[in-house]
Amino acid sequence: MSTRTEPHHPTAITLHQRSRVLEVGFDDGRSFRIPFELMRVYSPSAEVQGHGPGQEVLQTGKREVEVNALEPIGNYAVLPRFSDGHDTGIYSWDYLYFLGSQQADLWKQYEERLAQAGVDRDAPMAMGKAASSCGHSH
């Protein structure tokens, strides 16, 4: 992520529903506008990331996803509740900083994974994978 040893802390967080972005300002002066779609396809949840390398579930059909609520988790994270029902990803401040600072690379990696899978970004999720990708209910 970065060479900083202290965790990043937000100074401002704003949900922009119309443009579908989460704007986060951090204590180092940087500010990021993170698209909801990027947040959703890179959710840190087991449902998306799996329980280990190679278990990731490629997310599709998330271009129009919205964040219906953003709940604080202690003093270290937020839990977005997405319009597609996904609500199991806890986004630490450092993870949001990572998403914001690495957006270009993350989009490129996502597009490469879509191409490798031969799947369109707007294709609906396969029902089996969307329900429970890691073998238990969430």
Read off the pLDDT of residues 110-128 as tens digits, 9 standing for 90 and up. 999 999 999 999 999 876 4
Please state, in angstroms and as integers, the Cα–Cα distance from residue 1 to each residue in 4, 14, 88, 105, 125, following that order.
9, 23, 23, 12, 29
pLDDT per residue over 9-42, tens digit each? 999 999 999 999 999 999 999 999 999 999 999 9
Q: Which fold has domain 10-129?
A: NE0471 N-terminal domain-like (3.30.2020)
HSE at residue 85, side-chain half, CA atoms within 13 A, is: 6
